[in-house]
Structure 1
Amino acid sequence: MKPTEIPIRDIKPLLPIPDISFYVFIGFALVGLVVLAALLIYGIRWWRSHRRIDPRRQWLRELDRIDFNDPKKAAYIFTRYARLLAEEKRQKEIFSQLLPRLERYKYKREVPPLDEETKRFMKLFIEMTHDAL
């Protein structure tokens, strides 16, 4: 038999192979984005709860919120936070001058309204503390 006369057995056409690699890629990308978003949200929440907030700034905010119309409460709040904030020599001087003035607004049931000089000293101390921070 001659080589040209070899009978060709039935050759079948190529079978189509389903290609789902694009869908697998999209699936992995979506899962990756969800995981990344979850990590980002968790990281932001953790950072917010663990960041260090300067307590001096909070004390200064409390001094800024003092209501001078309530002299008793103002005297107590100012004494509490000003004692913590007085660090410089000038601030300590003003605070030591203010303490005797504020004593008459504490420990009594009825207190007179704050006099203007005491208010000025208190506001001066608050301004100096703003400048120091």
Structure 2
Amino acid sequence: MKSTDIPVNDIMPLVEVPDYSLYYFIALVVIGLAISVSVVVLLLKKYRSRRLNERKQLYRQLGAIDFSDPKRAAYAISEIGYRFAHDNERTASVYQNLFERLEPYKYAPTVNKIDQETIGYYRLYLEIIDA
């Protein structure tokens, strides 16, 4: 019979394997957060610039109103001017004054030309918005 006490020489002892998975996970989370933050910042910048462009476009529309049709002009000034009325207290009060001066030109079936005093308030409102 053969002996069972044969030494095994070709099996190596266990080798310690370094575990870097935690470092890889942390690096992945940091990179993911950096990308997420940069996407949010870019979207905010784009939204703000678009909002400013809308404001400039509305200002141009408000400044280019034609007074040949007083009823349509009064409605346009009231509608577009409302968007700027809540900027600060001064624009709100000037808009309210202008709105009250434009009321006779909106609700009557036939209206006269808009008087120079109301046009002066309109131009003052434009200057306040532009400042």
| TM-score normalised per structure 1 | 0.57
Deviation at 1:74, TM superposition (A): 1.0
Which runs of 5 or more residues in structure 2 are unaligned?
Answer: 1-45
The residue aligned with 2:71 is 72
Give percent identity, aligned residues only.
Answer: 34
In the TM superposition, what whole-angstrom CA distance separates every residue of 1:57-93 from its partner, at most 9, and x where no partner exists? 1110110111122211111110011111121211111
User: Which is further off, 101-110 or 50-59?
Assistant: 50-59
SS for the counterpart of 2:101 is: helix
> Which AA in structure 2 matches 1:84?
R
Deviation at 1:128, TM superposition (A): 1.2
- Measured on the aligned residues, the alpha-carbon RMSD in Å equals 1.7
Deviation at 1:111, TM superposition (A): 0.6
**Which of these two proteins has the greater Rg computed from alpha carbons?**
1
Which runs of 5 or more residues in structure 1 are unaligned?
Answer: 1-49
The residue aligned with 2:29 is none
> Which AA in structure 2 matches 1:78?
I
| TM-score normalised per structure 2 | 0.57
What are the residue-to-residue correspondences of 1:71-110 with 2, within 5 Å?
A: 71-86=70-85, 87-110=87-110
In the TM superposition, what whole-angstrom CA distance separates every residue of 1:1-21 from its partner, at most 9, and x where no partner exists? xxxxxxxxxxxxxxxxxxxxx
Query: How many positions carry a matched residue from both structures?
Result: 82
| CA–CA distance in structure 2, aligned partners of residues 97 and 121 of structure 1 | 8
| CA–CA distance in structure 1, aligned partners of residues 83 and 56 of structure 2 | 11
What are the residue-to-residue correspondences of 1:1-133 with 2, within 5 Å?
A: 52-53=49-50, 54=52, 55-86=54-85, 87-131=87-131
Moved over 2 A (4+): 50-54
Q: Is the 8 A contact 1:71 1:112 kept in 2?
A: yes
